[in-house]
Amino acid sequence: MQIDKIRGHQTDQLFKAVLELKNIEECYKFFDDLCTISEIQSLAQRFEVAHLLRLKKTYETIKKETGASTATISRVRRCFDYGNDTYDEMLGRLYPDEKPFQASK
């Protein structure tokens, strides 16, 4: 797993802090202090790419709707195929009525 390369006290502390956030306004404030606007936008864009992939949208449609490069779309797609299934898990919690992406593992 990629995450094993960054596992440690500092990362644990960061993730524990995220888990302590109480609402979306706290999230905005915390991430505003923690990240650049560009970093937040990149994370949000990847998550939206994941959502559109889950909806089985084409790369061209995703590129038009999000402005993401095909490299970014491909990276997110690889996470669906070979990752930890957390994009699908989180999107399933946010959109329980949507049909999930079926990866070929």
pLDDT tens digits for range 9-58: 999 999 999 999 999 999 999 999 999 999 999 999 999 999 999 999 99
Region(s) of the chain under CATH 1.10.1270.10? 37-104
Q: What is the DSSP letter of 96?
A: T
Tell me the one-letter amino acid at 45: Q
Q: How far apart are CA 62 and CA 64, in angstroms?
A: 5
C-alpha R_g of the chain: 15
> Residue 81: what pLDDT?
84
**37-104 in CATH: which number?**
1.10.1270.10
CA distance 83 to 26: 29
User: For residue 101, what pLDDT is reported?
Assistant: 56
